């Protein structure tokens, strides 16, 4: 897979969801030499990674960087923000729920100055995606999840959606689409779909268990060199003859930029970091999909079949004047996700289910920053959960808990449930539901936005619409940190589409998904 030379046409920092796409696409040209730097191990042949239903056991494991948050006065300060330490990145680590972004999500980006990222341009790239994305297979459709779908449709009057990717939707309930092979419960992650088939390309070099800790200029002042440290402590400088591509994710990409002197100048100077570019937006605009949880005990063990224990979901549009996109989402878990409720003294249950009301486009926006100039010290993350001045996010959770109870009280789901465990039926006022809902809130592991792209008139835009870091030559960012705003839905496919488009931008193509 290449040799030990330190110069390549492209160096990709991060072998995650976007990095795998770029590596595969750029090495289609046999004369294009690409090096991928990945901090974790390979996923090839690793059943712990490749078996989708094992995802929950990857959290807080050797495959997890495990970032924490600073104190969250209006939320839960104990959330572990899992970020994958393995080839394939979070597509090797998550549940692989796969939604095309809604057209309005992309058109919103374009309206905010990301020219060329409108729905008409981006969505046709779906035809290029190599992942196998299909609705949950019939064999994996657990009877209680089926009854959740039936009950939600009956209680709320929303349609049952057979394929959420068939057309845009404002509301609906159904089984998700997943990037997986149902036979064997195998992931169709970015690494499986894009990299595994091409690992023998002689123009592709993988440097695994290798950590990038500083971007530095080449002899011409272009920011195309990166200093890396291998597992044995050996330090090397890799140079990109064309461009350096940062694909390390919404936490580690801005972290690397700031460690390299690219970011808010005053903050960097305070840490003793030499400023190479004053970009105040690096680390700002930290986005997420917060969610809460409501848990029921079931009368006994559930049937065992499932794709990944959260196979079905619900979308609602509560505000008819808010446009065609849903503004409340649920995941339905066939396991009692009680890590946050037990901390508050609620009992653990052996057999149960839960619903997790989720804020699709949260209005609370956070930031991240370096604690020191030491590359080994984890950055500070402040998502500022539930701090939006209008209380939109908090109200979404309160409404969601109420809606969840409506669904749970409706047959046939009602017939499975023994009792509500958390917060319990006595918690009914909006104030009490808000207090509970915020204290047990969690993340759907979707940090984004920390190197957002935008127009020349946006002083906080880190990237231009070609994903180039402003004011610097030779360096682009391709991962969820580029998001100006959070897509309504689970964002993995949006990252895949962005990477496919980025490959066209790099190759000088005009785009369009042809």
Active site residues: 446
Compute the CA torsion angle 328, 248, 38, 92 (nearest 10 deg).
Answer: 10
Supply 165's token pair: 């990717």
End-to-end CA distance of the chain: 29
E strands, 91-175, are 133-135, 172-175
Supply 437's token pair: 């809902």
Supply 235's token pair: 């330090």
Residue 35 contacts residue 14 (beta carbons within 8 Å): no
Instruction: For 109-148, give one letter per residue: b (16+ CB within 10 A) or e.
Output: bbebbbbebbbebbbbbbebbbbbbbbbbeebbbebbbbb
Instruction: For 373-403, give one letter per residue: b (16+ CB within 10 A) or e.
Output: eebeeebebebbbbbbeeebbbbbbbbbbeb
Q: Which of 235, 358, 388, 228 is nearest to 293 (CA)?
A: 358
Compute the CA torsion angle 480, 244, 132, 511 (nearest 10 deg).
Answer: 90
Q: Which of 169, 180, 150 is nearest to 51 (CA)?
A: 180
Q: What is the SS3 assignment for 437-470?
A: HHHCCEECCCCECCCCECCCCCCCCCECCCCEEC
CA distance 79 to 69: 7
Instruction: For 444-479, give one letter per residue: b (16+ CB within 10 A) or e.
Output: bbbbbbbbbbbeeebeebbbbbebbbbebebbbbbb
Supply 273's token pair: 């970091």
Tell me the pairing of strands 367-369 and 380-382: antiparallel
CA distance 394 to 371: 29
């Amino acid at each position: 897979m290449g040799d030990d030379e330190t110069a390549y046409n492209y160096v990709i920092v991060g072998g995650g969801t976007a990095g795998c796409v770029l590596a595969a696409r750029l090495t289609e040209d046999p004369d294009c030499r690409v090096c991928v730097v990945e901090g974790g191990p390979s996923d090839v042949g690793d059943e712990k990674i490749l078996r989708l239903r094992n995802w929950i056991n990857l959290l807080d494991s050797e495959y997890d960087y495990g970032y924490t948050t600073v104190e969250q006065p209006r939320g839960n300060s104990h959330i572990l923000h899992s970020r994958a330490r393995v080839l394939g990145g979070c597509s090797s680590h998550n549940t692989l729920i796969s939604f095309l972004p809604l057209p309005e999500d992309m058109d919103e980006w374009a309206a905010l100055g990301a020219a060329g990222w409108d729905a008409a341009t981006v969505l046709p790239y779906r035809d290029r995606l190599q992942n196998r994305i299909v609705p949950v297979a019939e064999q994996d459709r657990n009877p209680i999840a089926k009854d959740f779908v039936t009950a939600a449709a009956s209680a709320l009057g929303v349609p049952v959606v057979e394929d959420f990717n068939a057309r845009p939707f404002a509301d609906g309930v159904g089984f998700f689409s997943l990037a997986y092979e149902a036979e064997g419960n195998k992931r169709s992650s970015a690494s499986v779909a894009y990299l595994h088939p091409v690992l023998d390309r002689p123009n592709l070099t993988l440097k695994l268990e290798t950590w990038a800790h500083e971007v530095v200029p080449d002899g011409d002042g272009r920011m195309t060199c990166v200093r890396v440290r291998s597992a044995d402590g050996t330090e090397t400088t890799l140079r990109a003859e064309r461009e350096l591509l940062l694909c390390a994710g919404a936490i580690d990409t801005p972290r690397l930029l700031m460690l390299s002197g690219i970011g808010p100048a005053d903050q960097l100077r305070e840490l003793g970091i030499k400023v190479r570019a004053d970009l105040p937006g690096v680390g700002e605009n930290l986005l997420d999909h917060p969610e809460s949880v409501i848990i029921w005990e079931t009368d006994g063990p559930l049937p065992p079949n499932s794709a990944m224990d959260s196979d079905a979901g619900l979308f609602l549009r509560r505000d008819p004047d808010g446009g065609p996109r849903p503004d409340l989402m649920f995941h339905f878990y066939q396991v009692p996700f009680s890590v946050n409720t037990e901390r508050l003294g609620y009992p653990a249950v052996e057999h149960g289910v839960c619903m997790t009301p989720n804020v699709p486009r949260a209005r609370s926006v956070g930031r991240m920053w370096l604690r020191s100039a030491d590359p080994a010290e984890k950055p500070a993350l402040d998502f500022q959960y539930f701090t939006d001045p209008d209380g939109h996010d908090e109200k979404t959770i309160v409404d969601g808990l109420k809606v969840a109870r409506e669904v749970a009280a409706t047959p046939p789901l009602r017939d499975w449930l023994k009792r509500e465990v958390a917060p319990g039926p006595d918690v009914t006022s909006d104030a009490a539901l808000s207090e509970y809902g915020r204290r047990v809130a969690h993340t759907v592991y979707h940090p984004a936005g920390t190197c957002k792209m935008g127009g020349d008139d946006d002083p906080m835009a880190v990237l231009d619409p070609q994903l180039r870091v402003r004011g610097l030559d030779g360096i682009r960012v391709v991962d969820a940190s580029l998001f100006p705003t959070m897509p309504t839905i689970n964002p993995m496919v949006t990252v895949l589409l962005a990477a496919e488009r980025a490959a066209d931008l790099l190759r000088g193509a005009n785009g369009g998904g042809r």
